[in-house]
């Protein structure tokens, strides 16, 4: 049986909610890549102000993952936030995957051209969001960073890295997703 992935919008008092149409596009792609049943949650989870760091003006990605863990359903979760996230010793993060919790989070704020005072480019924005979503869920399927710069599992240090890669895992990474699925079936039988 295919595993469930929940696409969970996140809200806060300092950011807008992600657009429902964008969440559907993410869900469609995740279903295809991971051969999973993907459910888009309609109700956003509101993140408390304690996860906000006023000095950095960012939210702690780790604290949000911990918060989501408390109400977690069985399956994998991709939380989608439209506000800026950080992790210790990093200025910001595009996303984070909590392997032990099966919860990943992405922030879409820095994926818009407008964030850098550039003209809006909706197609490029959507493509970046899909790449970050597939990448973080890929980590939950135990994929590591891939040396192939075209592979979605390649580490993005900056947006040019993200723009340079495709929306899909390379053949090698794709094979590892399948292997993982087979291992799971063996364990269950």
Q: Write down the least CB distance from residue 139 to Zn ion, Å.
A: 6
Residues in contact with Zn ion, counted by CB under 5 A, come to a total of: 6
* Residue 39 or 159 having the CB closest to Zn ion: 159
Q: Is 136 a catalytic residue?
A: yes
Backbone angles phi, psi at 133, to 5 degrees: -65, -50
Single out the catalytic residue among 17, 136, 167, 187: 136
Q: Least distance to Zn ion from the beta carbon of 21, Å?
A: 26
E strands within 47-164?
Answer: 52-53, 58-60, 76-81, 85-86, 95-98, 103-107
Tell me whether residue 137 or residue 151 sits nearer to Zn ion (CB atom): 151
Which sign does the torsion angle of CA 41, 34, 93, 157 carry? negative
62-to-22, 39, 87, 90 alpha-carbon distances in Å = 24, 23, 7, 12
What does the radius of gyration of the chain's CA atoms come to, in whole angstroms?
16
81 binds Zn ion (CB under 5 A): no
Q: Specify the 3-state DSSP secondary structure of 81.
A: strand
Rule CB under 5 A: which of 85-104 touch Zn ion?
Answer: none
Spell out, one character per residue from 138 to 177, where the chain touches Zn ion: x when CB under 5 A holds, - when not.
--------x-x--x-x----------------x--x----
The β-bridge partners of 97 are 104
Which residues are catalytic, by number?
136
Site residues (vs Zn ion, CB under 5 A) = 146, 148, 151, 153, 170, 173
């Amino acid at each position: 049986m295919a595993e469930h992935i929940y696409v969970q919008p996140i809200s806060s008092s300092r950011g807008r909610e992600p657009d429902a149409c964008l969440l559907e596009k993410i869900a469609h792609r995740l279903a295809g890549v991971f051969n999973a049943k993907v459910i888009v949650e309609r109700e956003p989870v509101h993140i408390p102000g304690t996860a906000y760091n006023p000095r950095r003006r960012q939210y702690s990605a780790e604290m949000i993952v911990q918060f989501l863990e408390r109400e977690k359903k069985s399956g994998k979760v991709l939380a989608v936030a439209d506000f800026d996230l950080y992790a210790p010793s990093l200025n910001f993060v595009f996303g984070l995957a909590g392997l032990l919790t099966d919860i990943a989070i992405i922030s879409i704020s820095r994926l818009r051209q407008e964030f850098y005072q550039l003209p809006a480019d909706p197609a490029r924005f959507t493509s970046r969001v899909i790449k970050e979503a597939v990448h973080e869920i890929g980590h939950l399927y135990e994929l590591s960073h891939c040396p192939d710069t075209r592979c979605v599992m390649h580490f993005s240090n900056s947006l040019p890295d993200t723009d340079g890669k495709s929306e899909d895992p390379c053949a090698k990474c794709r094979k590892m997703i399948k292997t993982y699925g087979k291992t799971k079936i063996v364990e269950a039988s």
